[in-house]
Amino acid sequence: MVLDSMSGSVIYSAIDLTDGFYQILMRESDIPLTAVSTPSGMLWEWLVMPQGLKNAPATFNRMVSHVLRPLRDFAPSYFDDIFVHSRAEGDLSAVEVHVRHLRQVFQVMRENKLYANLKKCVFCAPEIPVLGCYVSKNGVRADPEKISSICSWPTPTSPTELRQWLGLANYLHKYTKDYAGLIQPLSSLLKKDATWLWRPEHQAAFDSVEKSLASAPILMLPDDSKPFHVVCDASDFAIGCALMQFDDEGRERVVSYQSRQMKPAERNYPVHDKELLAMRYALIKFRVYLLGEQTFAVYTDHASLRTAMKSPHLSQRMARWLSFFAEYNFVVHYKPGKNNILADALSRRPDYDPRTVLGRQVIDDENEDDDHCAVCIASGINLTNVSPEMDLRDEIVAAYADDAVYAGIVAYIRAPSDETLRALSRNTRNQIDRYHLDGDLLCYNIDKFDAPRVVVPNDDNLRARIIHSFQDSPMGAHLGREKTFAAVSRDFFWSHMYKWVHKWVRTCETCQRVKPSKSSQAPLRPLPIATEAWRSVSMDFIFGLPPDAEGRTGVLVFVDRFTKMVHLIPVSDTVTAAETAAHFIDCVFRHHGLPESIVSDRDPRFTSAFWSSLFQLLGTKLSMSTAAHPETDGQTERVNRVLKDVLRSYATSFASWSSFLPLAEFALNNAEHASTGLTPFFANNARHPRVPALIAVGHPTLTRT
C-alpha pair distances (Å), 386 with each of 193, 203, 311, 312, 318: 44, 48, 11, 8, 10
3-state secondary structure of 291: coil
Give the pLDDT score at 546: 84
The answer to whether position 48 is within a domain reads: yes
605 and 496, same structural domain?
no
Cα(548)–Cα(262) distance, integer angstroms: 45
CA triple 523-648-570, angle to 5 deg: 80
Is 233 within 8 Å of 239 (Cβ atoms)? yes
Give the pLDDT score at 376: 31
238 and 210, same structural domain?
no
Is 43 within 8 Å of 35 (Cβ atoms)? yes
For the chain, the domain total comes to 5
Helices 144-151 + 159-170 axis angle, to 10: 160
130 and 149, same structural domain?
no
The answer to whether position 474 is within a domain reads: yes
Q: What is the CATH number of the domain that holds 128?
A: 3.30.70.270
Phi then psi dihedrals of residue 458, to 5 deg: -80, 70
Of all helices (H) and strands (E), which one includes residue 145? helix 144-151
Give the pLDDT score at 389: 44
Cα(202)–Cα(161) distance, integer angstroms: 14
3-state secondary structure of 225: coil
The radius of gyration computed from the CA coordinates of the chain, to the nearest angstrom, equals 33
Cα(467)–Cα(489) distance, integer angstroms: 10
The answer to whether position 525 is within a domain reads: no
- Cα–chain-centroid distance for residue 656? 30
Q: What share of the chain is helix, strand, coil (3-state, %, to 5)?
A: 45, 15, 40
Which tens digits make up the pLDDT trace of 642-696?
A: 777 777 666 555 567 788 888 888 888 888 887 788 888 888 888 888 777 777 6
Domain end point (choices 302, 334, 352): 352
C-alpha pair distances (Å), 167 with each of 146, 173, 197, 503: 12, 10, 20, 34
Helices 316-325 + 271-285 axis angle, to 10: 30
Give the pLDDT score at 306: 62
Cα(86)–Cα(101) distance, integer angstroms: 8
665 and 543, same structural domain?
yes
The answer to whether position 271 is within a domain reads: yes
261 and 318, same structural domain?
yes
Cα(378)–Cα(2) distance, integer angstroms: 35
Contacts by residues 48-54 (CB-CB < 8 Å, ≥ 24 positions apart): 48/21, 48/22, 48/23, 48/24, 49/21, 49/22, 49/24, 49/25, 50/21, 51/21
Is 86 within 8 Å of 10 (Cβ atoms)? yes
Q: Which ranges of the chain have pLDDT less than 50?
A: 338-339, 341, 343, 345, 348-390, 520, 522-523, 605, 609-610, 624-630, 704-705
114 and 159, same structural domain?
no
Query: What is the signed CA dihedral for 56, 59, 61, 67, rounded to 10 degrees?
Result: -140
3-state secondary structure of 567: strand
Indicate the pTM of the whole model: 0.45
234 and 204, same structural domain?
no
Domain end point (choices 322, 352, 382): 352
3-state secondary structure of 135: strand
Residue 354 DSSP label: T
Domain end point (choices 323, 352, 381): 352
Q: What is the CATH number of the domain that holds 563?
A: 3.30.420.10
The answer to whether position 497 is within a domain reads: yes
Give the pLDDT score at 620: 60
C-alpha pair distances (Å), 330 with each of 241, 254, 309, 333: 15, 19, 11, 10
131 and 12, same structural domain?
yes
Give the Cβ contact number of residue 293 at 10 Å: 13
C-alpha pair distances (Å), 36 with each of 28, 48, 292, 607, 694: 16, 14, 53, 93, 67
Q: What is the CATH number of the domain that holds 206?
A: 3.30.70
406 and 484, same structural domain?
yes
The answer to whether position 240 is within a domain reads: yes
Helices 661-669 + 634-650 axis angle, to 10: 130
With CA atoms as reference, report the closest residue to 183 among 195, 196, 197, 168: 168
469 and 498, same structural domain?
yes
C-alpha pair distances (Å), 250 with each of 242, 246, 422: 18, 5, 63
414 and 317, same structural domain?
no
Please list the residues that pair with 253 across neighbouring strands. 245
Give the pLDDT score at 63: 92
Question: In sequence order, what E strands does 120-184 have?
Answer: 122-125, 127-130, 133-136, 139-142
60 CB-side CA count, 13 A: 23
Cα(173)–Cα(366) distance, integer angstroms: 15
The answer to whether position 530 is within a domain reads: no
Is 461 within 8 Å of 265 (Cβ atoms)? yes
The answer to whether position 674 is within a domain reads: no
Domain housing 269: 229-352
Give the pLDDT score at 509: 65
Burial 482-507 (b: 16+ CB within 10 A, else e): ebbbbbbbbbbbbeebeebbbbbbee
119 and 179, same structural domain?
no
Which tens digits make up the pLDDT trace of 213-237?
A: 888 778 888 888 888 999 888 877 7
Please list the residues that pair with 559 across neighbouring strands. 538, 566
Q: What is the CATH number of the domain that holds 401?
A: 1.10.340.70
Cα(259)–Cα(232) distance, integer angstroms: 9
- Cα–chain-centroid distance for residue 59? 33
Give the pLDDT score at 503: 83
Give the dihedral sign, CA 217/219/220/221: negative
Give the pLDDT score at 364: 38
Q: How many residues does the chain have?
A: 705
Is 457 within 8 Å of 406 (Cβ atoms)? yes
Count Cβ atoms within 10 A of the Cβ of residue 28 and give its class: 0-12 exposed, 13-18 middle, 19 or more buried.
exposed
